[in-house]
Amino acid sequence: MEALEKCYVYAKNTSNMDFLASTVAFLEFQGREVNALDVAGNMPREQSDSFFERLNHYRAIYKKQTELA
């Protein structure tokens, strides 16, 4: 989990925030224990909102893949 929390520092722009959100969603899809609230813990409100918006987008993609299987 520490590595993902450190990724926040890297996630300063939209493409990096998108990468972070897609990574968290993928780890969740794999059944790994990831706490998205911890990942977003130190983010300013605007970045946190962006992160969770993108995270929900990727969660929906993985949910669709699961439903098709």
Q: What is the pLDDT of residue 20?
A: 92
Q: How far apart are CA 31 and CA 41, in angstroms?
A: 21
List the domain range (segments joined by +) for residue 37.
2-68
Structure tokens that stand for 10 in this block: 């890297």
Structural domain total, the chain: 1
**Mean pLDDT in residue range 39-65:** 92
What is the per-residue burial (b if ≥16 Cβ within 10 Å, else e) of 15-51?
A: eebbebbbbbbeebeeeeebebeebbeebeeebbebb
What pLDDT shows up at residue 51?
Answer: 93
pTM: 0.76
CATH code for the domain in which residue 14 is found: 1.20.58
C-alpha 44/C-alpha 28 separation (Å) is: 23
pLDDT digit string (tens) for 9-21? 555 566 788 899 9
- What is the pLDDT at residue 30? 94
The band of 67, judged by pLDDT with boundaries at 50, 70 and 90, is: confident
